[in-house]
């Protein structure tokens, strides 16, 4: 079916709007892409890509058996890892409910020159897996708990 030439012209104009807008936004996003990331990974910190003594965010998993709590205060120390590189984090304050070992978290704070991350805020990252507690217990018992802890 032949299209009316006027409509065809308008159809092309509509397509052009979408294509040029997409191209412009894609260019902006690729230029800004490192700034859009919410946090630095521990590997980026290990490779000195993160600025020192500036307010930044770091993200990763809380390493198993690395959480040390001070019995007399709210001070806590743990190791943040992406299972390639590690960063020690110090934090004083109340932790979110989902904070636990093997859990993904995002911390806000400053990196000291000794590569210790002094956090002022700890946020828990939730993964996309949902399940009833009984299922989680069953997975735990059968030794498949890695299935629920992977990000």
Contacts with another protein by CB under 8 A lie at 7, 10-11, 13-14, 17-18, 21-22, 25, 29, 33, 36-39, 41, 59, 95-98, 106, 121-137, 148
Nearer to another protein, 118 or 136 (CB): 136
Question: What is the secondary structure of 77-110 as a DSSP string?
Answer: EEEEE-SS-EEEEEEESPPPTT--TT-EEEEEEE
| Contact residues for 39 (Cβ-Cβ < 8 A; gap 6+) | 56, 57, 58, 59, 106
Report the nearest approach of another protein to the CB of residue 4 (Å). 9
What are the residues facing 148 on neighbouring strands? none
Nearer to another protein, 18 or 31 (CB): 18
Instruction: Count CA atoms closer than 13 A to 27's CA, side-chain side.
Output: 5
Q: CA-based Rg of the chain, rounded to a whole angstrom?
A: 23
Nearer to another protein, 32 or 72 (CB): 32
Report the nearest approach of another protein to the CB of residue 32 (Å). 10
Structure tokens at 97: 């409910």
Report the nearest approach of another protein to the CB of residue 41 (Å). 7
Report the nearest approach of another protein to the CB of residue 103 (Å). 9
């Amino acid at each position: 079916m032949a299209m009316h030439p006027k409509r065809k012209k308008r159809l092309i104009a509509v397509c052009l709007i979408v294509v040029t807008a997409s191209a412009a936004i894609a260019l902006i996003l690729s230029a800004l892409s490192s700034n859009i990331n919410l946090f630095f990974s521990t590997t980026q910190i290990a490779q000195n890509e993160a600025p020192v003594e500036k307010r930044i965010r770091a993200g990763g998993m809380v390493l198993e058996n690395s959480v040390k709590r001070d019995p007399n205060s709210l001070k806590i120390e743990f190791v943040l890892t992406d299972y390639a590189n590690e960063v020690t984090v110090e934090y004083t304050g109340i932790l979110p409910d989902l904070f636990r070992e093997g859990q993904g978290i995002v911390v806000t704070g400053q990196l000291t020159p000794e590569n210790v991350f002094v956090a002022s805020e700890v946020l828990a990252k939730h993964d996309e897996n949902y399940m009833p507690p009984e299922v989680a217990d069953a997975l735990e018992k059968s030794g498949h708990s890695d299935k629920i802890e992977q990000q």
